[in-house]
Amino acid sequence: MRLADCRLAIIGLGLMGGSLAAGLAGRCRWIVGADRDPGAVELALARGWIQSGFTDPAAALRDCDLAVLALPVRAILALLGRLGSDLPLPPRLLDLGSTKSEVLAAMAALPAGVAAVGGHPLCGRETSGLAAADAGLFHGCRFAVIPVPACDPEAVALVEELVMELGAQPLRVGARRHDRLTALTSHTPYLLAVAL
Q: How far is Cα 155 from Cα 100, in angstroms, rounded to an integer?
A: 18
Three-state DSSP class for residue 193 = helix
pLDDT band at 127 (very low <50, low <70, confident <90, very high): confident
Estimate to the nearest angstrom the gap between the alpha carbon of 83 and the chain centroid.
16
**Cβ contact 53:72 at 8 Å:** no
Kind and range of the H or E run holding 104:
helix 101-108
Whether pLDDT at 193 is above 60: no
Q: How far is Cα 92 from Cα 7, in angstroms, rounded to an integer?
A: 11
- 4-15: average pLDDT: 98
CB atoms within 10 A of CB 99: 17
Mean confidence (pLDDT) of the chain: 91
User: Nearest CA to 183 among 118, 78, 101, 76?
Assistant: 101
Q: How far is Cα 110 from Cα 97, in angstroms, rounded to an integer?
A: 17
Whether pLDDT at 42 is above 70: yes
Three-state DSSP class for residue 138 = coil
What does pTM read for this prediction?
A: 0.90
